[in-house]
Amino acid sequence: MSPASSRLLEVENLTVRFGSADPVRHLSFSVDRGETVAVVGESGSGKSLSALALMRLLPRNAEVPNGRITFEGTDLLKLSDRDIRKVRGREIAMIFQEPMTSLNPVATIGNQIAEVLRLHEKLSRKEARARAIELLNLVKIPDAEKRVDDFPHQLSGGQRQRVMIAIAVACKPKLLIADEPTTALDATIQAQILELLDELRRKLSMGLLLITHDLGVVSRWSDRVVVMYHGDKLEELPTSELFSPDRHPYTRGLAQASIRLEDGVHYTSRTLSEIRVVRDADGQNDYQIRQPVPRDLPPVANDDEPILQVDGLSVTYRTRNRENRALDKATLTLAKGETLGIVGESGSGKSTLSKAIMRLVNAESGSIRFQGQDITSLGPNQLQPVRRDLQMIFQDPFGSLNPRKSIRDILEAPLIVHGVRDAAERRQRIAQTFDHVRLPLSAAERYPHEFSGGQRQRIGIARALILKPSLVICDEPVSALDVSIQAQILNLLVDLKRDLGLSYLFISHDLAVVQYISDRVIVMKDSRIIEESDHKTIWRQPKTDYTRALIAAAAGGETRNRALAS
Amino acid sequence: MSALLRILRTLRRTLLQAVPTILGIIILNFFLLQLAPGDAADVMAGEAGSATVETMQALRERFGLDNPVLVQLANYLGNLAQFSLGFSPRYGMPVTELIGQRLPGTLTLMAMALAIAILIGLTLGSLMAAFSGRLPDRLLSILALLFYSVPGFWIGLMLIVLFSVTLGWLPSGGAGTIGSSYTGFAAIVDKARYMVLPATSLALFYVAIYARLTRAAMLEVKNQDFVRTAYAKGLSPVVVTVKHVLRNALIPITTMAGMHVGGMLGGAVVVETVYSWPGLGRLAFEAVMGRDYTVLLGILLLSSILVILANTVVDLAQAWLDPRIGEQK
Amino acid sequence: MTTETAVTHAATPIQSRASATQAEKPDTPQWHNIKAPDARTTRTASVSVPAGRRELAAFLRNPNALFGLVFLSLMVLVALIAPIAFPGDPLGMVGKPFLWPGQDAAFPLGTDSMGRNVLAGLFHGARISLFVGLTATALGLGVGITVGSLAGYFGGWVDDVLVRIIEIFQTLPNFVLLVVLVAIAQPSATTVSVAIAIVSWPMVARLTRAEFRAIREKDYVVAARSLGFRHPRIIFKEILPNALPPLIVTASVMVATAILMESALSFMGLGDPNVVSWGSMIGNGRELIRTAWYLTFLPGLAIVFTVLALNLIGDGLNDALNPRFSEERS
């Protein structure tokens, strides 16, 4: 325990209430000066609400029935509205998840930074502007003198997050709350932003409260961790012990379910642990970790004709006055039974590639051969039988299911379209597919909104499988899911591959996931394929600088000097 | 990019886009004119009282009415290029001139009504958003809905009953005291007295629209992330509302204000007939009664151009308000 | 010209981003800014139950909407029984002229300058108002939805052409165009309905187009395409049902607007001359406003309440179908 004088923030017994529900219950933790504390949890854990509660920024319909938030000796919950405003932005600052929407679109970034300086430090317009430029330099925005008059839409996502940080540190706050500060950003940018936050923490000796779902971020950038599940704090521990075996079962499960690049696990050798939380008779949560037994997989048949052959495929999007080459001469092959991983950051062209193969966008040049047939320019009628064999799983489990159709309708429509006339056969096929994706048949009559994200993703997979395809394109299938759900879906995909003899084209921005699930990996950047290799070689001996940078970002880059903290 | 550049670029784009629209409207106008029962010759003959088949034929030849439709369209376009909308035998003057006489009256009325509507609408809408869900919001919402449901001509008549007939405070029609020789301030007061009732009748519906729109836009913006950022800076609710919410909410409100100029012109037609206000609307009414289609379609064309002008102004205002517009992507 | 988002705003200032209404799910945080995974479940937890039962319940719980519904039903009833309750021509002279309401028990709402029964006029006027309102709306919706969905779904040159046409019709001032059309076509209940439909379809078309463009990009539509669904199936089964909520709201507002337009036309003497309409009653009473103001006042009230009822229904539908802001009201 640190001496009392170094205590910056002490949260005791904090409860947040919405109507009859308490999404945060009896939360206690503390942050010392200059320390980084991470609050980690999955969807619905209450971590973001807790952060908002600290700043008294909860929505109007929320209340805090009990608890104390002592910041430098004052209980923030007891301050008047006027006094808490003096704390916000000056003593405690906050940055949010969505850099794209967190800045006012009609004000220049300079004015948005200056605003907080003029408010708290009573600077003149001119002084505030000068300080704004200094701050932009501090957060490493190049050309700060010029960019100070830019509007947010002229900046990239990473730059906007830097501006948010500049606003937050403008008045040298004692505590900075960062709520999922990098979740919306690409991996390489993520690492830079986190490094910047850490550097500023040291420079300005701020306490940093890091809210995140990402155990990788936690393990690299924090001193202590608070683990939350469903509104309850499960445990608090030093970050160094995060992966030690005698932790709370949920923490352990979370750690085992998250795939880390450096562990080098592969689907052929190990299944992922799944967390089960069961509510027992007296309302207590019982946490179990289940690791499915790995089963043998048939070897990839490399000698056969490849199932998919893409050659020099280019796609250009044209709008009235602009051309955008979204895919440039992509060439790849995929053997039967193989999983080909495609890694790239946003805008790298990986989604365009999948859409072009699915014939959802037209190729400008190049060819696509699928099961020996050139499908590059087939008309809708000839394409119909091909579609049966070529299916897709989508990223967003909330947007990929028609909200107005029952699950049965969603699964039955493809069968009807593809000429399965016999209703009994359709029923049987649906039941079989439910079985494959481990959903109870009772789910059929319900509607998408009644399901959780993971269940919806299973339904999306069921829809892709109902026509018995041979190749499934998975476009970021686990990116929108929590770690524990991600593990379940990845295990399921592996099982399905074995049971149904599928081939996958697996697209993701997450290197660790791609490393786990792929036999071979392709790296994309700026609409091009820049590197291709088998799943081991690409991580051990990357050929391009870009791949090296990606790996470095995912594996932690320069790991932070922990000696300072301890 | 500077705001001026943005505005200029928007102006160019807007004007370019307006060209096909205007052309389409002109052609539509021409064909509507063709569809109208009777042609100019009939009308003139009707005005003259008697006409033989021969004189009718001569008239048609003189005005090119016996030409094929496409030639007539070309003539129509040619005339338009010289700002000629044809001749109204009924009024004995060119339609352009006739409309030119009446236009200022309508524009003044509309400007007044628009000012009332925006001023009161914005205020009511902001109040409703500030008290959203609470009693003031509910009462104002119902009031707005009531305004939204009242026909302008009826409320016009009711206002006359109340303020002119019963109370005798304001004149019941016309645009100024006939034969008066007011000057300076007195003249303005006199004009205003005649304008209060028609402008109010016309504005009421739009007060409701702007109030409801402002409420929705403010609530929408209030829920956005950057507003939370503003609160996290320590700004007070008033500053957040004025500096962050209102500025952003004005963008959709401006668009709507522009979109309703056309509607307001239509409203003016009815209100002007109620108050015998000498404007385009009254002219339209008289033209309908006299089946003077040249005048009627001239008004339609001109009012469409008015709408396009209004839209241009709105687009420019938007480019000024919103830095994302007019950007070269 | 004016941007397209604005049009969406016009008809549905409130778009259908899902969230639970307070009454049903008191346990969900309602701060929409929370975009973290925490919030995703709550934000999407209640995308309309397809059977519409929840929407119906929400609608019926709304006292304003209920009042609107009751009043409108009453008006429909009035329109239906008008020929039975007041047989004979409502334009015929039946009593002494200028009887004030209450003066003669036989004419509870009095008689006009020609000795016509005002109450009979109001009853028969309901018929024409509702007929024009419903017919014009049905026609306008039909054309607007067709054009809008074609433009929004196919995009490309189809969209370019259709948007131009929509633009032209939206630029022409509605009421002025309406007057021109009716003047040219000669007024009758049918031509008035068709003319109102002609001036009102562009709004529907724009709204439908915007909805279609947004929904077209959703993953479930992409999925439908990748499954080999044909265009009609995608349009009618995947997109249209999801585009309907704002259109339903618009429909009720359109009926209200059509009734207002019809009454204004009739007031100006451009209505069907053979039937009695609320607007024409006001038009006839207008010269007598100094002596017999009840002749303009009563039919006006009928218009106001009918239109108000429709707008209340529209608001109620909006709150029920797009429950985004309803929490702020309840």
Per-residue pLDDT at C212 exceeds 90? yes
Query: How far is the C-alpha of B23 from the C-alpha of B36, rounded, in Å?
Result: 20
In this structure, chain B runs to a length of 329
Per-residue pLDDT at C324 exceeds 60? no
Output the pLDDT for position A29: 92
Q: Which of the other chains make 3 or more beta carbon contacts under 8 angstroms with chain A?
A: B, C
Question: Which of A510, A438, A496 has its CA nearest to residue A468?
Answer: A496
* Range from A132-141, A150-159, C82-91 carrying the lowest mean pLDDT: C82-91
3-state helix, strand, coil in chain B (%, to 5): 80, 0, 20
C-alpha distances (whole Å) from C203 to each of A304, B148, B235, C163 are 58, 18, 40, 11
Chain B residues touching residue C291 (CB < 8 angstroms): none
Per-residue pLDDT at C115 exceeds 80? no
Query: How far is the C-alpha of A175 from the C-alpha of A51, rounded, in Å?
Result: 12
Start-to-end CA span in chain C (Å): 37
* Mean pLDDT for the stretch of residues C288-293: 76
Identify which of B226, B234, B321 has the shortest CB distance to residue A102. B226
Instruction: Chain C: give the shortest CA distance to residue A123, in Å.
Output: 30
Contact C153, C235 (CB under 8 A): yes
Output the pLDDT for position C61: 82
A528-534 and A373-374: which strand pairing? Answer: unpaired
Q: Which CATH superfamily is domain C109-329 in?
A: MetI-like (1.10.3720.10)
CATH number of the domain residue B55 falls in: 1.10.3720.10
Domain that holds residue B53: 3-328
Q: Note the ipTM here.
A: 0.82
Domains of chain A: 1-91+175-247 (3.40.50.300), 99-172 (no CATH), 338-361+379-565 (3.40.50.300)
DSSP secondary structure of C273-315: TTS--HHHHHHHHGGGTTT-THHHHHHHHHHHHHHHHHHHHHH
User: Model confidence at C52, in pLDDT bands (50, 70, 90)?
Assistant: low
Each residue's pLDDT tens digit, A493-503: 998 998 888 99
Query: How far is the C-alpha of B251 from the C-alpha of B234, rounded, in Å?
Result: 25
Cβ of A145: how many Cβ atoms within 10 Å?
10
Identify which of B226, B234, B329 has the shortest CB distance to residue A104. B226
DSSP secondary structure of B88-145: ETTTTEEHHHHHHHHHHHHHHHHHHHHHHHHHHHHHHHHHHHHTTTSHHHHHHHHHHH
Please state the separation of Cα A349 from the chain's center in Å: 19
Chain C residues touching residue B20 (CB < 8 angstroms): 164
Per-residue pLDDT at C35 exceeds 50? no
Output the pLDDT for position B51: 61
Inter-chain touch C38–A47, beta carbons under 8 Å: yes
Chain C residues touching residue B285 (CB < 8 angstroms): 268
Please name the residues in contact with B50: beta carbons below 8 A apart, sequence gap of 6 or more. none
Query: What phi and psi, each to the nearest 5 degrees, are found at residue A242?
Result: -60, -35
Contact B303, B280 (CB under 8 A): yes
Inter-chain touch C47–A448, beta carbons under 8 Å: yes
User: Model confidence at A1, in pLDDT bands (50, 70, 90)?
Assistant: very low
Average pLDDT of chain A, as a whole number:
87
Report which of residues B38 and C179 the model is more confident about: C179
Identify which of B158, B267, B311 has the shortest CB distance to residue C1. B311
Query: C36 and chain A: CB distance < 8 Å anywhere?
Result: yes
Please name the residues in contact with A146: beta carbons below 8 A apart, sequence gap of 6 or more. none
Residue type, A287: Y
Per-residue pLDDT at A5 exceeds 70? no
Inter-chain touch A102–B235, beta carbons under 8 Å: no
Output the pLDDT for position B105: 85
Element (H, E) at A426: helix A423-436
Each residue's pLDDT tens digit, A204-244: 889 999 999 888 888 888 999 999 988 888 899 998 888 88
Among A418, A449, A450, pick the best mutation site for testing chain C contact (most C Cβ within 10 A).
A449
Q: Which residue of B has its CA nearest to C200?
A: B263
Instruction: Chain C: give the shortest CA distance to residue B148, in Å.
Output: 8
Contact C206, C143 (CB under 8 A): no
Contact A503, A335 (CB under 8 A): yes
Output the pLDDT for position A460: 93
Query: C157 and chain B: CB distance < 8 Å anywhere?
Result: no
* Mean pLDDT for the stretch of residues C107-115: 71
Inter-chain touch C40–A398, beta carbons under 8 Å: yes
C-alpha distances (whole Å) from A171 to each of A84, A86, A90, A108, A117 are 15, 11, 5, 19, 7
Question: Which of C273, C278, C253 has its CA nearest to residue C128?
Answer: C278
Choose from A548-552, A557-561, B84-88, C287-291 the range with maximum mean pLDDT. A548-552
Residues 134..153 of B with a Cβ closer than 8 Å to C: which? Answer: 137-138, 142, 145-146, 148-153
Among B9, B137, B223, B229, pick the best mutation site for testing chain A contact (most A Cβ within 10 A).
B229
User: Model confidence at C20, in pLDDT bands (50, 70, 90)?
Assistant: very low
Tokens of B93: 């003057």
Residues 215..274 of C with a Cβ closer than 8 Å to B: which? Answer: 256, 260, 263-264, 267-270
Question: Which of C269, C16, C276, C4 has its CA nearest to residue C129?
Answer: C276
Report which of residues A339 and B192 the model is more confident about: A339
Output the pLDDT for position A563: 31
Each residue's pLDDT tens digit, A252-299: 888 888 887 777 788 888 888 888 877 777 777 788 888 887 777 766
Chain C residues touching residue B153 (CB < 8 angstroms): 264, 267, 282
* Mean pLDDT for the stretch of residues A32-37: 92
Per-residue pLDDT at C18 exceeds 80? no
Inter-chain touch A392–C38, beta carbons under 8 Å: no
Quick one: three-class SS letters along A22-53? EEEEEEEEEEECCCEEEEEECCCCCHHHHHHH
3-state helix, strand, coil in chain C (%, to 5): 70, 0, 30
Element (H, E) at A127: helix A125-138
* Range from A52-56, A309-313, A364-368, B255-259 carrying the lowest mean pLDDT: B255-259
Per-residue pLDDT at C7 exceeds 70? no
Per-residue pLDDT at C46 exceeds 50? no
Inter-chain touch A120–B234, beta carbons under 8 Å: yes
Inter-chain touch C41–A44, beta carbons under 8 Å: yes
Instruction: Chain C: give the shortest CA distance to residue B183, in Å.
Output: 32
* Mean pLDDT for the stretch of residues A501-508: 92
* Range from A311-315, A389-393, B308-312 carrying the lowest mean pLDDT: B308-312
Q: Which of the other chains make 3 or more beta carbon contacts under 8 angstroms with chain C?
A: A, B
Inter-chain touch C226–A23, beta carbons under 8 Å: no
Output the pLDDT for position A129: 93
Chains A, B: CB contacts under 8 A, how many?
71
Output the pLDDT for position A434: 92
3-state helix, strand, coil in chain A (%, to 5): 35, 25, 35
Residues 212..241 of B with a Cβ closer than 8 Å to A: which? Answer: 224-226, 228-236
CA-CA-CA-CA torsion for C185, C187, C188, C192, nearest 10 degrees?
80
* Range from A109-113, A223-227, B135-139 carrying the lowest mean pLDDT: B135-139
Share of chain A above pLDDT 70, in %: 96
Per-residue pLDDT at A122 exceeds 70? yes
Residue the block writes with tokens 């100019």? B40
Query: Is the alpha carbon torsion for C193, C199, C203, C206 positive or negative?
Result: positive
Output the pLDDT for position A174: 92
Inter-chain touch C330–B133, beta carbons under 8 Å: yes
* Range from A504-518, C68-82, C206-220 carrying the lowest mean pLDDT: C68-82
For chain B, the domain total comes to 1
Inter-chain touch C38–A463, beta carbons under 8 Å: no
* Mean pLDDT for the stretch of residues B73-87: 75
Average pLDDT of chain B, as a whole number:
81
Per-residue pLDDT at A435 exceeds 70? yes
Contact C252, C315 (CB under 8 A): no
Choose from B22-36, B265-279, C156-170 the range with maximum mean pLDDT. C156-170
Chain C residues touching residue A360 (CB < 8 angstroms): 222, 225-226
Each residue's pLDDT tens digit, A454-484: 889 999 999 999 999 999 999 988 888 888 8
